[in-house]
Amino acid sequence: MTTRRDAYTTHDPAGNEPLGVALLGAGLMGAFHARTLVAIPGVALRRVVDADPALAAAAAELAPGIEAGTDVASAIADERIAAVVIATPAQTHGPLIEAAASAGKAVFCEKPLGVSSAEAAAVAERVRAAGVPFQIGFQRRFDAGIARLLDHVQAGALGRVETFRSVTADPQGPSFEAMARSAGIFHDTLSHDMDLALAVAGPIDEVYTVGAAMTDERFTALGKPDTTVISLRFASGAVGVIENRLRSGYGYETVLEVGGSAGKGSVRADELDRLTLYREGRIERAHVPWFLERFADAYRAELVAFATALRTRSVPAPSIDQGLAVLAACEAAERSFAEGRPVAPRTTV
């Protein structure tokens, strides 16, 4: 069986060779990751795989020597590959993580770990058994402002954490067809807010969700609201609230606020740039249009951190345990909405 030490050292024991990476998935997020990977010193993107060969080929054109294809098994088995970056649809994450881990490859995977906590727990068990380095993609932690706030919280600079607030609003709601195909707001959107809630205030004792279908009343029949407000009670005694909207009507917005006994921290960065226009009767600033613009630097930083952890033989973070905790909390929020009552997250870690 491959051990954790083997997973770090087999491919690059002296740290002199580039870290060979295979990228699985070349859609919107995968294409962004491809551009990041080819720009990281000491990393060599060697294989790009996608079910759509045209997407794989487009990503492979970013640098010489990148092979494009549709064969996942071949890419994972490639001896030049030390790490696998997974940016495929959520329902494929579990099997791909298991395949990569079984082959002794380090794994970076976009959230979630699986389509359910039960699947994710099984995946986590196999990753632990394989002993391979693993990092889950919660990029907001790598945003400069959020990272500084988390550092202040962990250092106790705000005193005891008493309140938590997080807001995520997408610019426009999905179509009915897209909503029917999607995992829904509790898994596509909420997971990032829940990750920060757990990072800031620790384990959650109780979740209570209210939600509604504002953009299309047919969403109600799907059991998938597009607007939710979630109350949180933490084991520490702190309380929190998360607001998610799939249609803001103006642009992409995120807000993070942490209140402590000795102060408060707030992070929001919804301006597209630093330009302010002064016009008669009004002042104008451009709003950031979408998540890639808002978190571009954070997405790059998380992959740099993953590569650095592998080359320095340190443990990547956020870990697979955090992925499990976030998924359990998101499922609790979904269950609370369906049942109309407060519920406790089910522990899977």
Cα 213 to Cα 65: distance, rounded to the nearest angstrom = 48
Give the count of beta carbons closer than 10 Å to the beta carbon of residue 306. 26
- Note whether 284 and 199 are same-domain residues: yes
Residue 349: predicted pLDDT: 54
Its pTM stands at 0.93
Cα 334 to Cα 331: distance, rounded to the nearest angstrom = 5
Phi, psi dihedral angles at 328 (to 5 degrees): -65, -40
Instruction: Give the structural domain span for 57.
Output: 4-140+299-318
- Note whether 39 and 165 are same-domain residues: no
- Note whether 40 and 98 are same-domain residues: yes
- Note whether 153 and 269 are same-domain residues: yes
The answer to whether residue 174 sits within a structural domain is yes
Instruction: Tell me the CATH number at 93.
Output: 3.40.50.720
- Note whether 71 and 134 are same-domain residues: yes
Instruction: Tell me the CATH number at 210.
Output: 3.30.360.10
Q: How far is CA 168 from CA 190, 240, 244, in A?
A: 8, 14, 5
- Note whether 314 and 173 are same-domain residues: no
* 280: enclosing H helix or E strand: none
Residue 93 · residue 136 · CB < 8 Å: no
- Note whether 251 and 306 are same-domain residues: no
Residue 4: predicted pLDDT: 39
Residue 16: predicted pLDDT: 73
The answer to whether residue 344 sits within a structural domain is no
Residue appearing with tokens 């993070």: 256
Residue 57 · residue 81 · CB < 8 Å: no
What are the residues whose beta carbons fall under 8 Å from the beta carbon of 246, sequence distance 6 or more? 169, 170, 172, 173, 174, 185, 189, 215, 226, 227
The answer to whether residue 347 sits within a structural domain is no
- Note whether 176 and 261 are same-domain residues: yes
Tens-digit pLDDT profile for residues 31-61: 999 999 999 999 999 999 999 999 999 999 9
- Note whether 154 and 289 are same-domain residues: yes
What are the residues whose beta carbons fall under 8 Å from the beta carbon of 133, sequence distance 6 or more? 4, 7, 8, 83, 106, 107, 309, 310, 315, 316
* 284: enclosing H helix or E strand: strand 282-287
How many domains is the chain partitioned into structurally?
2
**What is the side-by-side strand order in the sheet with 161-169?**
204-212, 227-234, 239-245, 161-169, 253-260, 263-268
Mean pLDDT for back-to-back runs of 10 residues, the chain (349 residues):
43 70 98 98 98 98 98 98 97 97 98 93 97 98 98 98 98 95 93 98 98 96 96 98 96 97 96 94 95 96 98 96 97 97 84
Residue 38: predicted pLDDT: 98
Both structure tokens of 165: 């607030």
